[in-house]
Amino acid sequence: MDQSLGKQAMPTSDLPNALDARRPRGGRASEIRSALQEEIESGRLPPGTPLDERALAARFKVSRTPVREALQQLAARELVKNAPRQGVSVARLSVSKVRAIMESVGELESLCAKLAARRVDEKLKRELDSAIASCQEAAVHDGAAEYAVANTLFHEVIYTGSRNEYLAELIRNSRRLIQRYRVRDFHSKSQISKSLQDHLKIARAIQEGDEALAAQAMLLHVPAGSSGFSEFLATIPTGFLEAGSEDLV
């Protein structure tokens, strides 16, 4: 007699719960949190985007429990917000918070360029030349996405050249916080051209060991000043900003 006939098949609706039970406690929630965090920080999930537990559970093929835990972890990182009667959505930043982050990034990047100029050697000079060449190639022959990659690599060369990993990590963390507000960077030839010219000035100052000029050139490169920030703010869709943000200058 086939004993399997006496076993009741598991309902399809219970499969996510069974799969969750096989994973280490909290492991699946962390995986979901990590995936959503990357999408939020990169801008693929823009500020204000609703996050539905049921839809996320279906997407990740899990029950709603690890999704709920993942959203709680994201809320602790201030990346999502749970509003009464509105549910969970990707958190919006206020104008003042955006300005504060950009100012911090500008000052930290400026210090990083200063230290790179102080500690420049032949290896860093060659790496800067290579990074500039990549930026020029992307500016002439490629589009916004390719230039954005070249831009990141240029800045990473300077972070490494500063020989201060603590400072470099502070900058990377701050950039991750603000990246979702920079989705329109390099979308025009004029933006790319200005960025490239800034890079040339920064690289030249570092290669010449001019700490003051390297710091000043980098500070002007990051849109944290009054006019630069106003121009940057104009590129941010209104819906990305926290309601009631009135301090627009």
Range of the domain at 32: 16-90
Token pair belonging to 162: 């500063």
Go through the chain and tell me how many residues it has.
249
| Among 29, 64, 90, residue at a domain's last position | 90
In this structure, the answer to whether residues 100 and 74 fall within a common structural domain is no
Query: In CATH, what number is assigned to the domain containing residue 26?
Result: 1.10.10.10
Token pair belonging to 117: 């100029």
In this structure, the answer to whether residues 165 and 219 fall within a common structural domain is yes
Using CA atoms, how far apart are residues 71 and 168, in angstroms rounded to an integer? Answer: 28
In this structure, the answer to whether residues 136 and 188 fall within a common structural domain is yes
Q: 85 falls in which pLDDT band (50, 70, 90)?
A: confident
Q: What percent of the chain has pLDDT over 90?
A: 67
pLDDT per residue over 24-83, tens digit each? Answer: 546 899 999 999 999 999 889 999 999 999 999 999 999 999 999 999 999 999 899 998
Using CA atoms, how far apart are residues 233 and 228, in angstroms rounded to an integer? Answer: 9
Asked if the structure places residue 246 within a domain, the reply is no
pTM passes above 0.85: no
In this structure, the answer to whether residues 37 and 131 fall within a common structural domain is no
Q: What percent of the chain has pLDDT over 70?
A: 86
Using CA atoms, how far apart are residues 234 and 122, in angstroms rounded to an integer? Answer: 40
| Among 70, 90, 110, residue at a domain's last position | 90
| Among 90, 123, 156, residue at a domain's last position | 90
In this structure, the answer to whether residues 84 and 164 fall within a common structural domain is no
- Going by C-beta distance under 8 Å and a sequence separation of 6 or more, which residues neighbour residue 78? 91
pLDDT per residue over 216-242, tens digit each? Answer: 999 999 877 656 788 888 888 888 998
Using CA atoms, how far apart are residues 239 and 49, in angstroms rounded to an integer? Answer: 10
Query: In angstroms, how far is CA 225 from the centroid of its own chain?
Result: 21
Please, what's the b/e burial string for 73-86 (b: 16 or more CB within 10 A of its CB; e: otherwise)?
bbeeeebbbeeeee
Q: How many domains does the chain have?
A: 2
Q: Is the pLDDT of residue 21 over 50?
A: no
In this structure, the answer to whether residues 99 and 155 fall within a common structural domain is yes
Q: Is the pLDDT of residue 134 over 60?
A: yes
pLDDT per residue over 142-153, tens digit each? Answer: 788 899 999 999
Q: 120 falls in which pLDDT band (50, 70, 90)?
A: very high
For residue 23, the model assigns a pLDDT of 53
For residue 92, the model assigns a pLDDT of 93
User: Up-side HSE of residue 145: CA atoms within 13 Å toward CB?
Assistant: 1
In this structure, the answer to whether residues 136 and 72 fall within a common structural domain is no
